[in-house]
Amino acid sequence: MEASPPLTFKNRSFTPAEISLIEEVVGSCPGLSHQELANTICELLGWHRPNGGLKTWEARDLLCALERTDRLRLPPPRPGRPRGSRTSIPTTGLAEPQPRIVGTVRDVAPIGLRLVKTPSDRQLWRELVERYHPQGHRVPFGAHLRYLIEVAKPPGAIVGALQLSSPAWRLAPRDRWIGWTDRQRRRHLQRIVNHTRFLIVPWVEVRNLASTILAKVAREAPPAWKRAYGIGPVLFETFVEPSHAGTCYRAANWIALGETTGRGRQDRYHRREGFVPKQVFVYPLVRNARAALRGLG
């Protein structure tokens, strides 16, 4: 059978495998907006501007073009901000340091994960992460969920924040551990969720709090992700800076797989040198996670 020719769009050629990947992402992520789909496609295909920015608007045009040829069906458009508008994080008093909280998990329990939905919760989440997380706040691309972490004692106290988002395109330690082919990775990649932000605010010193939160996230976040995006995740992944030992992940039974190559999580074409290698940890959410990611279970 004669191979299909590449598709050229906006001065870029897309192979049949890349077009197939785009179709699979759109078909398997019905909960994403057009903007989120375009950002995800750009990340997966390494479609960047010379300054490193994503070619989001070109990707949106490509999605519309593929829909016109009946290659895929996009979800209904959502209202959004005008093109070119920027996201800003105004400083308010929401993230000011609070009285110290010390003790054990039992002293503050029960612990709750509050899915960020309201404008006030979004503002609080962004301020906390921008102010206290080493990597600060960045607008996530593609699928993502954000949580505020609260405790009962003192009542309603917010002790941290976390974010789950789309997975890395290629990740050598993870890919070796799964043992999948490129085709299997393209087809099943979206069943992995990346734990991209995890913050416990600096005035909280509660023993075993971080590992307790991670265990709770593993129970509660997968069904929330499936409700939001139509895909049931089977594996969590995360990156840990080399200056940290990943103690809380080890305590929560995450598996250490080795280090990244230091090129950045979405570097398909080995162009982004100078990134610091990070430790890779994964957490299977089902017993047969590796087989499921190879399409065998």
pTM above 0.75, yes or no: no
pLDDT per residue rounded down to tens, the chain (297 residues): 445 678 888 778 888 888 888 888 888 777 788 888 888 888 888 888 776 777 888 888 899 989 888 888 888 876 554 433 334 555 667 788 899 999 999 999 999 999 999 989 998 999 999 999 888 877 776 788 999 999 999 998 999 999 999 888 889 999 999 999 988 998 899 899 999 999 999 999 999 999 999 999 999 999 999 998 888 999 999 999 877 778 999 999 999 999 887 654 444 433 344 457 889 999 999 999 999 999 986
Distances (CA, A) of 274 to 16, 38, 60, 108, 260: 32, 27, 30, 42, 12
Sequence spans of domains, the chain? 7-68, 101-293
DSSP string, 203-253: TEEEETHHHHHHHHHHHHHHHHHHHHHS----EEEEEE-TTS--HHHHHTT
* Cα 275 to Cα 16: distance, rounded to the nearest angstrom: 31
Q: Tell me 48's DSSP state.
A: B
Cβ within 8 Å of residue 295, ≥6 positions away? 184, 187, 188
- For residue 207, which amino acid is it? R
Domain 101-293 is classified in which CATH homologous superfamily?
Gcn5-related N-acetyltransferase (GNAT) (3.40.630.30)
pLDDT at residue 271, rounded to an integer: 39
Q: What is the pLDDT of residue 92?
A: 67
- Residues with Cβ within 8 Å of 296's Cβ and at least 6 positions away in sequence, in order, are 288
